[in-house]
Amino acid sequence: MSAPAQPAVFNPLEDGFIDWPYDQYRRLRAEDPVHRSDLLQGWVVTRYADVSRILRDPASSAVIDNAVPTDMTRAEIQRRDEAARGGRTLVLLDDPDHARLRKLIAKPFRPREVDGLRSLIEERVRLRVDALVAEHGAGTPVELDLIAEFAYPLPVEIFCQMLGIPEEDHPIFRFWVNCIARSLDPVMDQAERDELVARTDEMYAFLEELVETKRGRNDADILSDLVHAEEDGETLTHEELMAQLMTLYVAGHEPTAGLVGNGLRALFDFPDQLAMLQADRSLLRNAVSELLRYDGPNQFVRRIALADMAFDTPAGPVTVPAGAVVYASPGSANRDEAQWGPTVDQVDITRTDAGSHLQFGAGIHACLGSHLARLQAEVMFTAILDRFEEIELAGPAVWSTRMVIRGLSELPVRARLR
Ligand code: HEM
């Protein structure tokens, strides 16, 4: 007699989840799309329509203090308060505070301003490939790790250069940023948590010193713009500025590296799509949207329900009660057959509605850096197509253990560099 089927459960610790969470998401969408998770002491929401609704719903708060207290929320509030940074990052605030901060820091990230950064980004990417050519040689097939040697260092280098951070400090920033990205995961032991808090403090102290040097000057860089940010008579306090800077680093680095790494890995699984892109670069813009949809880095966005939220599900009506913590999954929503149809699990770089993906979130917190992320990804993919000839997978891709920001820690490739 076969054992009765287990109910669908969200379990990021299950074997295989880190490599490929999409099978678990599919089951949750089919059986329990608004799922109560004991592990997360909250709700996991996986269908496109529901995730989209939660992200846009004014009754979804980003402020953890609105949650009914649990061990996890208490611990998070305590960590935030002990860190003396007060959680004043715009990601963790509701309007009107959120809107005020967003307006103050938005200018450098508008499409026009970001387009002005194209040559800086192209130059940075060119220098990195030149360095790879110098190290590995050109013209004959070589093997290298596309994450460690290309996708991972570049976004943080680009951001450091935008902020005017000295070249020799870029590597330590990469390390710090990785620590902070890991600290976003809700599940980890206390020793690791303490270690990550210590690293965050180091980065904070470094940036604080740099900000002080910019205060009395009028340099033409983005950090100076942020230090002097003023809009309708409003200014950023020192604590607010520091919180936004830390956020920009974390928000900007790991997901952008993830987009390029996950995206290239996906193209290796769909070589016809890679060949199409190699033959016609005008497809790149839409390809970036499709790669974000197919296996983008952002797996969960967290909200607190300010009022009861009712959902119709295959198992009957479900109500998420006011005060509950909700993990809405763009990663799952972007693979929902009800939204994308029967080709949902294929990469199709000509998909006409690829731009409807939820990787950049939606509503008031929609990603501030989406233009910058897309531009960086386009320049990095162009460099891969132009300068990594006959690129192919050279060994197994290794996923990092993060649950919220999904990305590779290794992607061995073989190519002839030029
Ligand atoms: C592929 C790359 C990226 C992805 C997938 C991504 C994804 C997201 C998502 C899903 C949110 C919404 C979070 C929420 O609703 O709680 C968000 C917000 C944000 N992102 Fe990005 N992001 C990326 C790159 C960047 C870059 C390059 C920057 C800037 C340097 C950036 C800055 C921000 C900021 C400041 C917010 C907060 C906006 C707010 O709360 O109003 N992101 N991002």
**pLDDT tens digits for 113-145?**
999 999 999 999 999 999 999 999 999 999 999
**The predicted structure's pLDDT at residue 3:** 56
CA nearest neighbour of 34 among 242, 251, 318: 318
| Atom of ligand 1 at shortest range from CA of 377 | 1
Q: What ligand 1 atom has the least distance to the C-alpha of 359?
A: 5
Lowest mean pLDDT among 128-132, 159-163, 367-371: 159-163
> Given a cut of 80, is residue 183 above it in pLDDT?
no
Share of the chain above pLDDT 90, in %: 69
- For residue 250, is it within any domain? yes
Q: Ligand 1 centroid vs 94 CA: distance in angstroms?
A: 15
What separation in Å is there between the alpha carbon of 248 and the centre of ligand 1? 8
pLDDT at position 414: 98
12 is a domain residue: no
pTM of the model as a whole: 0.94
Q: Which domain holds residue 143?
A: 22-417
More confident residue, 235 or 350: 350
Q: Give the residue from 374, 367, 346 showing the smallest Cα distance to 284.
A: 374
- Report the range of poorest mean pLDDT among 179-188, 291-300, 325-334, 396-405: 179-188
Give domain status of residue 336, yes or no.
yes
Average pLDDT over residues 396-418: 94
Pocket test for ligand 1, best of 302, 367, 368 (most atoms within 8 A of CB): 367
Residue 17, pLDDT score = 95
pLDDT of 416? 98
Sign of CA dihedral 45, 49, 53, 56: positive
On whether residue 360 sits in a domain, the answer given is yes
Residue with CA nearest ligand 1 atom 30 = 252
- What local confidence, expressed as pLDDT, does residue 325 receive? 98
Question: How many Cα atoms sit within 13 Å of 284 on the Cβ side?
Answer: 20
pLDDT of residue 246: 86
pLDDT at 391: 97
Provide the pLDDT confidence category of residue 52 given band limits of 50, 70 and 90: very high
pLDDT reported for residue 65: 96
Q: Does 399 reside within a domain?
A: yes
pLDDT the model gives residue 48: 98
Residue with the nearest Cα to atom 6 of ligand 1?
360
Rounded to the nearest whole angstrom, what is the distance from the C-alpha of residue 370 to the centroid of ligand 1?
7
* 367 C-alpha to ligand 1 centroid (Å): 4
Rounded to whole angstroms, how far apart are CA atoms 275 and 385? 10
pLDDT at 1 over 60: no
Whether the predicted pLDDT of 396 surpasses 80: yes
Mean pLDDT, residues 315-320:
96
Q: What is the mean pLDDT of residues 184-202?
A: 80
Cα 213 to ligand 1 centre (Å): 27
Q: What is the mean pLDDT of residues 60-75?
A: 95
Token digits of residue 410: 């290794």
Which atom of ligand 1 approaches the CA of 330 most closely?
A: 10
Establish if 159 belongs to a structural domain.
yes
Residue 7 belongs to a domain? no
CA of 373 to the centre of ligand 1 (A): 9
Please report whether residue 270 resides in a domain: yes
Check residues 414 and 83 and name the one with the higher pLDDT.
414
User: If you measure from the C-alpha of residue 173 to the centroid of ligand 1, how many angstroms do you get, rounded to a whole number?
Assistant: 19
- Residues near ligand 1 with C-beta < 6 Å? 62, 90-91, 102, 247-248, 251-252, 255-256, 259, 296-298, 301, 359-361, 365, 367-369, 372-373
> CATH no. for residue 78?
1.10.630.10
> How many domains, the chain?
1
Q: Which of 196, 408, 155, 406 is nearest to 300 (CA)?
A: 406
The per-residue pLDDT for 233 is 76
Q: Whose CA is nearest to atom 24 of ligand 1?
A: 252
Choice from 368, 374, 408 to test ligand 1 binding pocket (greatest atom count within 8 A of CB): 368
Residue nearest to atom 18 of ligand 1 (CA): 367
Average pLDDT, the chain: 92
Question: At residue 187, does pLDDT exceed 50?
Answer: yes
Ligand 1 mean position, distance from CA 180 (Å)? 15
Q: Which residues contact 227 (CB under 8 A, 6 or more apart)?
A: 211, 214, 215, 241
